Amino acid sequence: MSDVPAKPAHPAPPDGRPTGAPGRIGVFGGTFDPIHEGHLAVARTARDAFDLDLVLFVPAPRPWLRPRGPVVPADDRLAMARMATMGERGFDVSSVDLDRPGTTYTADTLRDLRKQYGPGPEFYLVLGADSIRHLDRWARVDSVLRRCTLVAVGRPGAPRPSELPDEHPGNQARFIEGPMVDVSATEVRRRLAAGESCAGMLPPAVERYIGEHGLYGATRAAAAMSR
């Protein structure tokens, strides 16, 4: 018999956190209008590259970068995010931004998540590489950078953080190329409104929800066609 002690299935965290408490949390904010396979690929890439215990998808009710606002209400976007992430290892959805009135800013998201999770976990803010280039226009970007490690995942057509000017805050992001999934919510919405197939772009449960609720101009027939 070997005298090497068996490795426990869930080793206790070294810093006194209760077993099972997440040590590294990915914070993945977005409009998710709707959530699509590109979002899921980004979250999986970040989870696996940074050994994240949890990736929180955080739908923004009123993202500041979208003056005309999202297309469908936050409750529908939240419901679709829950369906898309159900059963995925380490994925969860946070409604932290829905409880706050006014425009949604990431600095507030991180502050409120810190209150919720306490001082223990490290936060990794996950962004697509296209979002990194807007960082110099974010509200209270210094506060954001103090509160998290910035992670950028590659997106077709978007620059790498190292291609940004030296003084750009996006330069600090840790970059992972990832699988480069060429899907956008804009293209999904266009296809749904035109009655075109979204095969392979949406998780099946999300596609069903969109068809059943007639979101984005989708009809039941179009939603059924792309399955």
Residues that bind ligand ATP (CB under 6 A): 30-33, 38-39, 42, 127-128, 130-131, 153, 155, 181, 183-186
Least distance (Å) between residue 122 CB and ligand ATP: 19
Please report how close the Cβ of residue 116 comes to ligand ATP at its closest, in angstroms.
21
Nearer to ligand ATP, 156 or 224 (CB): 156
| Least Å from the CB of residue 39 to ligand ATP | 5
How big is the chain by its Cα radius of gyration, in Å?
Answer: 19
Q: What is the full DSSP assignment across 50-81?
A: HT-SEEEEEE-SSBTT-TT--SS-HHHHHHHH
Q: Which is nearer to ligand ATP, 67 or 118 (CB)?
A: 67
Strand-pair partners of 25 = 54, 123
What contacts 19, CB < 8 A, 6 or more positions away?
10, 12, 13
**Which residue lies nearest ligand ATP, judged by its C-beta?**
128
Closer by beta carbon to ligand ATP, 3 or else 33: 33
Q: Which lies closer to ligand ATP via its Cβ, residue 17 or residue 160?
A: 160
Ramachandran sector of residue 139 (left: φ over 0; alpha: ψ -120 to 50; beta: rest): beta
CB of 198 to ligand ATP, least distance (A): 13
